[in-house]
Amino acid sequence: MGNKQTVFAHEQLEAYQDCTFFTRKEIMRLFYRYQDLAPQLVPLDYTSCPDVKVPYELIGSMPELKDNPFRQRIAQVFSEDGDGHMTLDNFLDMFSVMSEMAPRDLKAYYAFKIYDFNNDGYICAWDLEQTVTKLTRGELSTEEVSLVCEKVLDEADGDHDGRLSLEDFQNMILRAPDFLSTFHIRI
C-alpha cells in the first residue's frame, strides 16, 4: 500500500505520518500539490532532504489560500524565517494544523500567532485593528473599527492590561464552539 513511491525514504514517510495528522496517502498527495506549485524548484526526490523553499507568491496563489485575507500571516507564521517562503516541512505543518483532525488547543495556539501581526507575543489594539480591517476589507469607518476593538478587549482581556495574552485568547477561543469548524482548510 503506497510502497512504490520513490520520493521519500521509508523512515521519512513514517516520521511525517507520526508527526502530522495525515496518512501516507495524504502526505504523498500534499507533496504533489507542493511540487506542482514550483515544478522546477522542487525535486522529485526528497530522500536527501534538500533545502528547497517555495516563495510566498506561489503559496499565496494556491486555490485554497488565494481568497483568504489572512494568507500572508498564515504563511509567515508557518514558514521557517517568518517571511512566507515555505519548505515542505512548513507546508505539511500548515495543512496539518489547519486540518480537521488537529485538536482545539493546537489550533488556538497558531491562531494566536496568526493574529499577532507585530509578533510581540500579545494581541494589542493595533493587531486587532489590522485584523478587523482585513476581515471587512477596509469597509468599516475608523471609529467603528476602534469601537469594535475596544469591545473585543473588554470582553476578552482578563487581566486588564490592554492587550490579549495567549491565555486570554485561548480562554475566549476555547469557549467558541465554532472555532474548530471555521479554522479549517480542506485540502
Please give the grid coordinates belonging to residue 59.
503559496
Q: Is 77 in the site for other proteins (CB under 8 A)?
A: yes
Strand partners, 123: 164
Please give the grid coordinates belonging to residue 153.
478587549
Contacts of 126 by beta carbon, 8 Å cutoff, 6+ apart: 117, 118
Minimal distance, residue 162 CB to other proteins, in Å: 5
Which range touches other proteins (CB under 8 A), out of 37-45, 52-60, 166-174? 166-174
From 30, 42, 59, 111, residue interacting with other proteins (rule: CB under 8 A)? 111
Nearest to 75 by CA among 106, 53, 52: 53
From 2, 43, 47, 126, residue interacting with other proteins (rule: CB under 8 A)? 2
Around 121, how many Cα atoms within 13 Å sit in the side-chain half-sphere?
0
**Using CB under 8 A, which residues numbered 3 to 22 contact other proteins?**
3, 10-11, 14-21
**Using CB under 8 A, which residues numbered 121 to 160 contact other proteins?**
121-122, 128, 131-132, 135-137, 139-140, 144, 147-148, 151-152, 155-156, 158-160
